[in-house]
Structure 1
Amino acid sequence: MQELLYLVHRIPFPPDKGDKIRSYHLLKHLSRHYRVHLGTFIDDEKDWSHLPKVKDLCGETCFVNLSPKAARLRSLGGLFLQQPLTLPYYRDRSLQAWVNSVLETRSVRNILVFSSGMAQYVSHAGPARRVIDFVDIDSDKWMQYAATKSWPMDWIYRRESRLLLSYEKRVAREFDAATFVSEAEADLFKRLAPEVATKVTYFNNGVDADYFSPQNIYPNPYATGTDTLVFTGAMDYWANVDAVDWFARSIFSAIRVHLPNVEFHIVGARPAARVMALSALPGITVTGSVPDIRPYLAHASLAVAPLRIARGIQNKVLEAMAMAKIVIASPQAMEGICAVSGQELLVADNEDDFAHQIITLLQSKSRRTMGRAARARVLKDYSWEKGLARVEALLSQPQVISADEARPHVLQNHFKSAGDAA
């Protein structure tokens, strides 16, 4: 079996949030075709319990503890090195040493890097074919963040956007191929970096349609006789926090004027203080972590995705569609999702539009047709098998390797070239 090095910025398990869903399905697919050597960080203490599950899919492994607080302090070194702060945030000597050892001692001919921050570990990887899954254009996300902040954070975020885009372009030039989460995301990067357009492609996230099936029987977590709106997602993620805060304060309150018994449930782990504060508002429940989100989707009247900051594909939208739920989404949440507005879901452009569409739907009580169409779209276009076949094709492309390249390579020490800032 061929050997492959897989570098991920966060342990790819459990698949309970956007990046982990994608990185886990990649790992599961790769493990069927390669002996996968995995290097990754763990930034949540609870995730250490999942090591046996991950190791079962891998050959050699390296798990490095990442304290978000310490990483944020370390990333400030990038301010003095004219680097994006992302690089020192994910820089670790022990992981670099492990990568060097794997490349020196194993017959690695393929490297898959998940997210731009991990590309620094294989900047000099000899003859191995390198593919990076950028997933999203992170530099653009930082520019969106900057628009919501005041000085000095807006300056820091604009700086990060500018320097990270330059780094993303450099990685795309040096690697053999680059993938994104959607055709729209890939097309945007091609416009930003036309010199690497021929290397850029995409593969969609998939949905396990059997797991997210409306045919299964789920217990009802809601009070009997209520109309319930639901939002699902990791509730410590900035974009999700902004979305539910905006929806709760600017949209849901207007809906309650017309429909005083409607409820809004925010379902997801690690709710930030700003999210927890919303539970004090009438009709709003913040659940925190739940063992299974499917009952909350199955018994909800509608799913909402009011994101104002977004990149790539929103798994929360696809999962709700797979459950045959009508989703009312912002244009940002719809980016990258191929679905017909008005037939398979609904798009709301502003606060009034959100409130009007939700009130109309709840009063009509006729929602089955659109829900069935939503699930049909997921079944047609969003299977993991279809997307991961693209990755396999990229990795299996033949390479011409010279005699010099075929000799063992020692990876150059990245930390010296980067100002020894670990």
Structure 2
Amino acid sequence: MDGAGASGPGGGADGRRAGPGPGRDVGRAPARPRKGGGLPALVGQHAAAPGGRRPAADGHRRQPAPGLRPPAGERRRGRLPSPAGAAGGAGAGAGLAPGPGAGAGGRLERGARGGGREHHRRPGRPAGPARPAAVGRLRPAAGRGPGPLGPAPGRRRPRCPGPGAGGRPGRPARGFLVHRIGLGGDGRRRLLPPGRLGAPRPGRPRPAPPLAEGRAGVRILFLTHQRPWPARGGGLIKTWALVRHLQERAEVELVCLESLATGEAPLPRPRGAATLLASYAARLPLSVYRNWSEPIAGRVRRRLEEGFDAVVADHIYTAPYVPDDFPGRKLLHLHNVESLVWQREAKLERHPLRRWAVALEARRLRRFEAAQARRFQRVFAVSEEEQRELLALGLPPERTGVLPNVPLPGLLERPPLDYEAAAPRVLYLGTLSWRPNQRGLRSFLAEGMPALRRLLPGASLTVAGASPPPWLSRLAASLDGVQMVGPVDEEGEEALYRSSRAFVEPVRGGGGTKVKVLNALARGLPVAATPDGARGLEAVPGRHLLVAEGPQALAEAVARLLATPSLWRQMAAAGRELVRLRYLPEVAFRPLVEELGLS
């Protein structure tokens, strides 16, 4: 899943940054106003200011011409055409005659030839060597230089790598945008496929796989609170799959809140009593307040002013960052209905004071979700059960939809597992820092594993996942037949799948649908789960997986899978078929594609 590209942000084929060539005049980039259908169009260009660039009031950030909105392409660096493009695109409003490739009234047709681009530099910075004209660019989410999200004069902001980047030596990497389509020297729209922008630094996560070339037209800003690569958790797997699927059909820009938190306190804010009290003062639910920042909201607003046709807010945490006056389509994707998660936590909490506080937070979240959902044209849940919760919030059915979770890509293409080649081993693979997972594992280890060992003395359990709490490691070490291996990479996961005969999901509480269960079904490893583990999936108990309530009953279900080859083979085939029919991106994400008019 690694990917490698050929150039860095704003650079040529060798990845190095290049400045403008000597003696080149500078024109204006074509504007992209919104038309009735919300699709961008190339129109007449603005005239150039004396000296080839628009005067800047503060000597750093270029200002819009009076009465004209700067085109989206110009508000980013490196989108200025050459003299040929300026002559060919300037309309009568600029006092220039239309040049070659210009239509009536100075309109520049899509197929017309335009000019190259010049790298913008701050005043006093010497020009570098000329850069190739027809080269696309990747833009970092919080990159240095002028623009809506540029830093204040005299201050440098860390550069963010592209989705295949390892970062530049000596500069921290905090986030990325998926891609941006630029205007090449031949006037045609080009996409530079993202890839490796530099050698990965030691300790850095490996580069993201390259994205397929997107189809120009609809511009979508995808707003999420967390970098989705590496996609090691259920939510990140879903987010990354959504971004890749949309990018195959439109021009997508990914903005991560944590990558914009430069110069402020990092997001999310830490848990604790002080954060809880501050959330009450801010009149926001705790989980929303931990991901809220007023300065970042202003940066997102300015980013949205660059001419996007739609914004997709990923998770309820990002919903308040979308302004009410955004003119395009506003869509909200909910990984969970958060108020449901807190309601279930309140029911499972034993301490009276904590139970009261959790129930109060659930009510705060429900009011917040109802208010935010009404601000979006369409709200998507991950299951029909959670869609019904959206209807209970007061949304009409036509403004709700379902985007099911999907497993990791490529699992269905791998060869089937072999029952005889595996030991009577049970596998658990999930995020060990999440409280519903911890609660379920504690119960299964304490009561379920002794029961399973009584039924099958040779049975064992392997627990794999990131961030296990110390008490869980101690509990696993004290039990016979239990092995704790911690986090594993893709090759380690495949080795665990091949050496196991069953997957157990003992989770209690939580919300949404469990991606780890979809991963096991897609790989052909039969699953035994609690009702919370199977919640929301279109799986038939007894056909696609086994469902049991309580650790003793769950141990008996696991023992059936370990000791019955015919049942194992039937469920392995049925689970893969279910994923193939319902949980591939082409099927699961169709409602979102249709909502954006990309089908």
TM-score bracket, shorter-length normalisation: 0.7 to 0.9
Q: 1:283 aligns with which of 464, 474, 481?
A: 481
Name the structure, 1 or 2, with higher relative contact order (CA <8 Å, separation 6+): 1
**Scaled by the length of structure 1, what TM-score is found?**
0.82
CA shift for structure 1 position 168: 0.8
For residues 250 and 67 of structure 1, the distance between their equivalents in structure 2, rounded to whole angstroms, comes to 38
2:468 is matched with which residue? 271
Could you tell me the TM-score, scaled by structure 2's length? 0.59
> What is the deviation of 1:63?
6.2
Query: C-alpha deviations, 1:319-375, integer Å up to 9, x for none?
Result: 111111110111111111112211221111223321222223333343212211111
Task: Say whether residues 1:146 and 2:346 are aligned partners.
Answer: yes
State the Cα RMSD in Å: 2.4
**Closer/same/farther in 2, CA of residues 316 and 70 from structure 1, 3 Å limit:** closer
Aligned positions of 1:180-329 closer than 5 A: 180-190=381-391, 192-208=392-408, 210-215=410-415, 226-280=423-477, 281-292=479-490, 293-329=493-529
Q: Which has the higher helix share?
A: 1
Q: Shift in Å at residue 67 of structure 1?
A: 5.3
- Do 2:380 and 2:401's aligned partners in 1 also have CA atoms closer than 8 Å? yes
From 361, 372, 391, the counterpart of 2:561: 361
Give SS of 1:285's match: strand
Does 1:387 find its partner at 2:585?
no
Q: How many Å apart are 1:26 and its aligned residue?
A: 1.2
**CA apart distance, 1:24:** 0.6
Matched, 1:344 2:344: no
Letter in 1 for 2:279: G
CA distance in 2, matches of 1:214, 1:268: 22
Q: Distance in 2 between matches of 1:361 and 1:103?
A: 52
Q: Which protein shows a greater Rg?
A: 2
Rate the CA distance shift 1:290–1:379 in 2: closer, same or farther, 3 A: same
SS at structure 1 position matched to 2:374: helix
Cα distance in 2 for residues equivalent to 1:40 and 1:63: 9
SS at match of 1:254: helix
Unaligned residue ranges in structure 2 (runs of 5+): 1-216
Bigger share in strand: 1
Distance 1:159 1:354 in 2: 32
Q: Which amino acid aligns with 1:300?
A: S
Pairwise CA distance, 1:99: 0.7
User: Is 1:36–2:237 an aligned residue pair?
Assistant: no
- Residues 71, 36 of structure 1: CA spacing in aligned structure 2 closer, same or farther, 3 A cutoff? farther
- Name the CA distance, whole Å, in 1 between partners of 2:280 and 2:512: 28
CA distance in 1, matches of 2:307, 2:543: 51
Distance 1:203 1:93 in 2: 30
State the partner residue of 1:132: 332
Shift in alpha-carbon separation, 1:15–1:358, aligned structure 2, 3 A: same
Q: Which amino acid letter does the alignment assign opposite residue 382 of structure 2?
A: V
The aligned residue for residue 291 of structure 2 is 90
Letter in 2 for 1:303: F
Check if 1:99 corresponds to 2:317: no
Q: 1:6, 1:209 → 2: CA distance?
A: 20
The SS at the match of 1:5 is strand
Which residue of structure 2 aligns with residue 46 of structure 1?
none
> Cα 1:361–1:389, aligned 2, differ >3 Å: closer, same or farther?
closer
Distance 1:365 1:93, change over 3 A: same
- SS of 1:140's partner is helix
Residues 259-300 of structure 1 show CA distances to partners (whole Å, capped at 9, x for unaligned) of: 222111111112122321232221111111111212212221
Question: Matches of 1:155 and 1:276 in 2, distance apart?
Answer: 30
CA contact (8 A) 2:267 2:291 kept: no
Identity percentage of aligned residues: 24
Is residue 166 from structure 1 mapped to residue 367 from structure 2 by the alignment? yes
Is this contact kept in 1: 2:526–2:575, CA < 8 A? yes
Match of 1:25 among 238, 241, 248: 241
User: Which residue of the partner structure matches residue 420 of structure 1?
Assistant: none
- The SS at the match of 1:175 is coil
Size of the alignment, in residue pairs? 373
Distance 1:103 1:82 in 2: 25
Moved over 6 A (4+): none
Distance 1:319 1:18 in 2: 10
